[in-house]
Structures are given as structure tokens and as C-alpha cells.
Structure 1
Amino acid sequence: MKILGIIFCNIQMVHMFHLGQTEGKPSRPFYSLSLETDLRTELFETNQYSPLQRPVLRVTTNVSLTILTVNELNIKDQYLSISGYLTIAWEDNRLSWNNPSKTSQDYTNVVYLFSAAKYLWTPTIIIENSVDDVSTMADTNIPLRITSDGAVYWSLSGIFKVACESDIRYYPLDSQTCIIRITTWGYTQGEILLQLDEDKPINFDYYNQNGEWELHSSSAYYASNRYERGLSFSTLYFQMTFKRKPLFHIINTIFPVVLMAFLIPMVYKLPSESGEKMGYCLTVLLAYAVYMSIISDNIPSTSKSVCFLSIYLGLTLAFSTISVNLVILTLYAYFQGETAAPTWILTIIRRKRRCDAEENKIVPCLNEENGNIIDGKVMEITQTPEAKTLTYHDLSLMLDKFFFMVYMIAITLSTLTLLIVLLTNYHA
């Protein structure tokens, strides 16, 4: 019994010691609605918080851009439409409560506060190259998150439509580089300093692929090159490069254009007596004119760069137009029949010919070993008198062969040049 009494007394003494150690120290209150209400009252009313005053002389604001999807990249109207949100973060030491010695009670169990933008000071930021609206970015429906150390986080979501200058040289296997410029409004660089988020200035973690455009690369950088009345303003540049997915336009644009181009020389293979030469030639010409107008509707009317495909179409259209006149010429010659052509035409043809007309001459064939004559003859080709007359009918056939070769070579070379230029740039 004595031992049990001694143990009980020791336990009582230890308990009394701990009570003495904690006596006079208030316990940390658990989170409750009333605790958060008291914190809001102290921060905004007791401390007389004003949303019109900046937290410090120069507020450093971190900005990051999260891209969700590309809605449209229109090269004709030259704009980019994306869905995403800007995450803006800054520090406001007037809203910190992590140091209990500076507050009326211990609020450290309140991890976050949420507030509307109208009750807080917020940086005025605009998208400088916006197409639809250049007003300051703000949304009263989006709450701001405030941490206990005074850090404020604001995520502004929306559909951002910005100007994007198109480079149409390699259309339809083109790539476009677009920039979103974000700058301060009203506050100079000495009052608000915009900085890029160190971890991910451009975030594509939640990006949904676009059916027409593939994201190729992205970058972000800072510049202070906007000046007004001698004052500089912070500007952030978010740059994205998109490549057009080629399959659709290869099937629906390049493939038909190339096929139609090789229809042009085939007109010279049609017999003149068929009566279809002129109709065929005009049909190809009109088809190219229609296709050129369709492609022109899809590219901007700009003189800064010229589309190589438009050059190819224009060149092929010129070939087709000239072909109409040449077909008229060959048909005229054909229907002159056996009438003799002018002598100057015959003279030109003779000068351009590589080989003269030749006749056959039969001579004995000798055995090289013994010199005996072999029973058999060989043909020795010698020159013969040139043809004295050339009919229009013969001239028509000669022109058809000549123009077919010229057009086939010209169309092949121009087509190969176009494809090499487009594919080289696309895979660069």
C-alpha cells in the first residue's frame, strides 16, 4: 500500500507541474466561422484596409498563362482565339496573419481567406493586342485566394482573342507564331513590376489538342518597351508557334491542284479531228480559275508575304491561258490540210533539226579475219536530200509534239519546286 501511495503522489506532482507550465498561455483556437469572421473584421475594418492603396511602393506581380484549348487560328482575318486563364500573384503584407504577435488573437488555424476583387487592391492588367476588348482584366465573380503570409492569388479565366500576323508563304503547310502581350494600365514599371512565373510561365498541362493546328513550341519573355510620355510600363510576351496539320489540305488542296496541272499538256495528245481540243482546254482553264479564287478566299489580302501556292496557281493559270492560244494555232494549221506551209517555217525547222533526213545504202560485208565477203548485206546510212515541202497538216502534228514536251517539262519542274519548298519548310 505504501508503494501505491508513493506512485499516486508522483503522478499528482507531475500533473501539477504541467499545469503550471501551461498556465497563462492561451490555447490555439480551432477553425470556426466566428474565428474567420473575427479575422476579416480585424484585417479590413479594424486595420482600415483600403483597396485604393498599393501594398508597397513597388508591387512585384508574378503572372503565368494556362492554355486550355485553341478555339480558332484564322489566318485570313489574322487573329488567334484561345481559352485559358491568367494566374496573377502578389504580396499584400496588410493581409497577413501568420504572426500571432501582430494580431489580437491567434488566427493561424485559418489557412486561407477568400475575397471578392472589389474589396482588395488588385493590379490593373490588360491584354495589349486584344482584338475584341482592351479593358482591364477583372471579374467580380472570381474569388481571390489569400494565404496567411499575405500572398494573394487571382485566376482570371476567359476566351482571349488577340491579333496574330499571318505568314502565308508556305500555306497550306504553314506554321504561325502568335504573341499575347500583357501589360499594366495606369501603373508604371516603378509601381507595378510584372514578372514571369519561375516554374511554368506557360502551362499546357490541361491543353486539349486542336483539330487543325498542332502546338509546336512556346516561350515567354519580359520587356519594358512600352512608353508613354517618358514613362515605361512592364510588358510580358507569351509566344506560341502552331503548325497546321497537313493531311486535310494535302488531300483537298495540293493533290487536286497538282493533278489539274498535268491535265494541261494532255490537250496536245487529243486528235485535232475529234473536235474536243478547244473545249478540253477551256475546261481546264476555268477549273484553275475557280480553284484559284477559292484559295484566295482563305488567305489574307496582304502584300507583306506572297503565298508560294498562289504563285504556282498563277503560273499554271498562265500556262493554261497560253495553251488556249497555242491550241487555236495548231487547229488552224491542221485544218489547212495538205496546203504547203511557208518556206520560212521550213527553214526554221531545218536549222533546229539535229539530224538530216537519211537514206539507206547497201554495201558488202567483209570478214575482219580473212577479208572474204560474207553472204549478207548491211545497211550503211548516208544523207539524202531534204524534204522539199512541208504541209500544214504535218506542221500541226509537229507543233503538238513540241508543245506537249515543253508543257510537260515546265509543269513537272514547277510542281517539284513547289513541293520541295513546302515540305522543306514544314520539316525544318
Structure 2
Amino acid sequence: MEYLFRELLIMFIVLSRIVPVYSAGGPPGGGGGPPAYSMDLETTLRNIVFTNYSTQQRPSEKVVVHVSFTLLTINDLNIKDQTMSTTGYLTLRWIDSRLKWDSTLGGNDYSNVKFLFSTESYVWRPALIVENSVADVKILSDSNTPMRIRNNGVIEWSPMGLYVVSCESDITYYPVDSQTCYIKISSWGYTSGEIDLKSKSSTILLGFYSPNGEWDLLSTSSEASAAKTRGDFSFSSLTFTVRVQRRLLFHTLNTMFPVALMAFLIPMVFKLHPDAGEKIGFALTVLLAYAVYLTMISDSIPSTSFTPCYLSIYLVFILALSSISVLCTILVLNFNFGTDDEPIPNATRIFLVSLVAKLICWKRKNCCQRARKVADSSVELVEEFDSKKETKEENITWQDLSNILDRAFFLLFTIVITFSTCIFIAVVFTQRVTEE
């Protein structure tokens, strides 16, 4: 019984020491501190701070606004329409001295109220526009994003948006191309003497960036631009630069490789025998295929470009070669179906036999069969080719001339197409390596 009484006495003493401490608003073992955050406390502070506040008045004679842009993703870069669509948000920071407060404002302790939050409807904000927007030119606004107001009057606001801007495309090296696009932010209504825009970072912020499937992001930059003049006033502006490079795999497999492959089909028409009946049809098919590809490329690049597209030049050149190959095929067929009743002009005979045939190492081959007896009394047939210069002019036929032309055109078109294709690939891919 005595033991139980002693335990109850000790518990009573401990409780008597703890309860007064909590009633004073402090932790156990400590003195009284500032009151914890409460909605009533913030409401009281808000009523005091926003008394006589007007959204129509600037905080100061010249408001310095620090701006940064956070890029979330590049939605699309359309080189035909010359537009770039991005998703991101601007972060604006400025000082409004009217919204400052200290911890003892109005006789209360606001030490635990670090921030106030408001929206654009109740706080003055700088009027900004995206100058080169093609979707909708209006004052940047986001009524759903709260403004964070610090006790020293610093306001931070991060309106999100979908920014569709004009982007002048450089299609010189399409589809192995890179593009540079700009997002231009400018003050509207307030002159450069009233609002001064400054870049908070030298680059676009990429902490939350999601890569695009077609374009690689090479670099970004952010800088203040020269003041824009509208009428008698100048306005502060910023320029955010986005530099991207097209990914190679898709267009290599679907554009570059098929184009080069079809180019080497052109000389193959001269490997078909004239009597096969498909010589002219094959040549026309290759010609039409290139015409279709040229149309497809033309549909994907802007028609008002200031620079030529090397791919278009290459396609037009190959298309011209394909057209010439049709004419050459007709000439070969015309020679092949010549009859002995039609004499071969001397100039044609001399040019093709004496000059062209030597350049392409063409020789008319005569074969005869001779029987030889071997030691075991077996008989072997030996094919003998007469390579002497006995291709007398009177023995040359129209079919021989057709064969000479076929071989000459095959070598000529193969050399020209190989050379032009190598030059095209070297030009576009050397530029790619240089940029990387």
C-alpha cells in the first residue's frame, strides 16, 4: 500500500510540471515560442497586407522582372509549316514592396507564416506576350497557377502553356538537318523604362525535359534582346533559343536508302537484252518511281524556302538521268532492230567501233569448235576466241552496235550515279559530323 501511494505521488508531480509547459505553447522543457501556422492567422495577415492594394498600379517606377523558361517537351517541329510547338512554363520573379510584412505586423507574431499565395486576379503582374506566336497572341495568363509571395515582397509566378511559334526552317541538308528556333518574350503596354526583363539563366532549364522522338536537343540559350520599338516607345524583350537536330534512323531507312537504291536501278536497264521486251518498260518504271519520290519530298518541305534542298537537287538530277536513260534505251532498241537492208552510216560505224568500242574494251567474239584427239582417244571440244583486230567494218551489224551502246551506257550511267551519290552523301553527312 505504501508502495502504491509513492508511485501515484511521483506521477502527480511529473504531470504538474508538463501541463503548464504545453499550455504556454512551447515544447516540453522549453519556453513559449511563436504560434503555429493556422488559417485564421494567415487570413488576418492577408487582410492587413492587401488593404488598399491595387492591381492597376506598378510596385515601383521601374520593375525588374527576372524570367526563366523551363522546357518540358518539344511536341512538334513542322518544317513545312515552319512552326515549333513546345510545352513548358515561364518563371517570373519581381518585387512588390507593398506586399512586405514582418513577424510583428499588427501586434501579432507571423514568424511561422513564410508565404502568402494569391492569383493573377488579385496581384499586379507584368503584361508579357510571345511575339512570334502563331497560335494566339495574347497576354500571358494562368488563373490556375498561384503566385508565391514571400515576406520580403518577392513574388514568384510560373504560368504554364503550350507555345506554338514560327520557326524559319533551313532545309539545305534535309533530312540530315538541324534547326534553330526562337521563343521571343516581350513586355506589352509597359515600356522598357517601366518594366525591365532580365534573363535569370543563360540557358533554358531542362530539369523536367522529356526527349522528342524525331528531334535531338543540341543546345539552348537565353538572353535579353534589343528593345523592340513600337511607335514612339521601346519595350523590353527576351529570346529563348532552341537548337535541335533530326534523328537519322527513320529517314535513313525510309528516305536516303531507297533513293540511293533506286538510283542504281537506272543502269540495270542496259543489262536487259533488247529482245526481252521489257527494256523500255523497266526504264519507265524507274522514272515514275523517282517522280513519285520527288513529289513526296516536295510535300514535306516548305515551298518558300530561302535555301535549296540538296536532296531535291539530287532527286532532280537522278530524275533527269532516268529520263535520259529512256531516250538511250529507245536508241539501243532502234539499233537492235535494224535490218541488213539498211546500211550503217560510216560516221556511226567509225565512232562506235573505232572509238567507243575501244574505250569500253568491247571485242567481237567469234567462236569455232575444233576437235582434238587426246592420248586416251577421247575427243575434247575447245572454244577458241578470235581476238584479232579482224572486226572488219563490213562484218559489223546493227546488233553489234546495239551491244556496244548497251555496254557503253551501262558503264557511263553507273559511273555518273556512283559519283553523284557519293558527293551527295559526303556533303550532307560531313555537315552532320561537323555540327556534332
Shorter-chain TM band: 0.7 to 0.9
Offset of residue 382 of structure 1:
9.5
Offset of residue 103 of structure 1:
5.0
Are 2:37 and 1:41 equivalent residues in the alignment? no
Equivalent residue in structure 2 for 1:288, among 268, 285, 290: 290
After TM superposition, list the pairs within 5 Å mapping 1:322-401 onto structure 2: 322-338=324-340, 339-349=342-352, 350=354, 353=358, 387-388=393-394, 390-401=396-407
Offset of residue 383 of structure 1:
7.5
Distance in 1 between residues matched to 2:90 and 2:233, nearest whole Å: 25
Are 2:274 and 1:268 equivalent residues in the alignment? no
| Structure 2 contact 169–305 (Cα < 8 Å) conserved | no
Paired amino acid for 1:209: P
State the match for 1:6 in structure 2.
none
Distance in 1 between residues matched to 2:217 and 2:280, nearest whole Å: 48
Percent identity for Structure 1 against Structure 2: 47
Offset of residue 388 of structure 1:
4.3
Are 2:409 and 1:403 equivalent residues in the alignment? yes
Task: Tell me the alpha carbon deviations over residues 161-207 of structure 1, each in whole angstroms, 9 at most, x when there is no partner.
Answer: 11111111111111111100000001111100001114x64110111
| Structure 2 contact 290–315 (Cα < 8 Å) conserved | yes
Task: Tell me the alpha carbon deviations over residues 207-266 of structure 1, each in whole angstroms, 9 at most, x when there is no partner.
Answer: 111111110111111112410123221111100111111001101111111000000001
Q: 1:139 to 1:385 in 2, by over 3 A?
A: closer
Offset of residue 108 of structure 1:
2.6
TM-score (norm. length: structure 1): 0.84
- Specify the SS of the correspondent of 1:209: coil
Equivalent residue in structure 2 for 1:172, among 171, 175, 179: 175
Paired amino acid for 1:212: E
Paired amino acid for 1:32: S
State the match for 1:23 in structure 2.
none
Task: Tell me the alpha carbon deviations over residues 48-102 of structure 1, each in whole angstroms, 9 at most, x when there is no partner.
Answer: 11111111100000111111111111111111111111111100011011364x6
| Structure 1 contact 221–237 (Cα < 8 Å) conserved | yes
Paired amino acid for 1:347: I
Paired amino acid for 1:311: I
State the match for 1:277 in structure 2.
279
Distance in 2 between residues matched to 1:73 and 1:382, nearest whole Å: 67
Paired amino acid for 1:407: F
Q: 1:383 to 1:415 in 2, by over 3 A?
A: closer
| Structure 2 contact 170–305 (Cα < 8 Å) conserved | no
Distance in 2 between residues matched to 1:357 and 1:387, nearest whole Å: 13
User: RMSD of the alignment, in Å?
Assistant: 2.2
- Specify the SS of the correspondent of 2:50: helix
State the match for 2:382 in structure 1.
none
Paired amino acid for 2:172: R
| Structure 1 contact 94–150 (Cα < 8 Å) conserved | yes
Deviates more, 1:74-83 or 1:295-304: 295-304
State the match for 1:83 in structure 2.
87
Extract unaligned runs of 5+ from structure 2: 1-31, 365-386
Are 2:61 and 1:57 equivalent residues in the alignment? yes
Deviates more, 1:290-299 or 1:349-358: 349-358
State the match for 1:371 in structure 2.
none
Equivalent residues, number: 377
State the match for 1:193 in structure 2.
196
State the match for 2:432 in structure 1.
426
Deviates more, 1:219-228 or 1:241-250: 219-228
State the match for 1:147 in structure 2.
150
Distance in 2 between residues matched to 1:351 and 1:284, nearest whole Å: 30
State the match for 2:113 in structure 1.
110
Distance in 2 between residues matched to 1:333 and 1:196, nearest whole Å: 75
Q: 1:59 to 1:385 in 2, by over 3 A?
A: closer
| Structure 2 contact 80–302 (Cα < 8 Å) conserved | yes
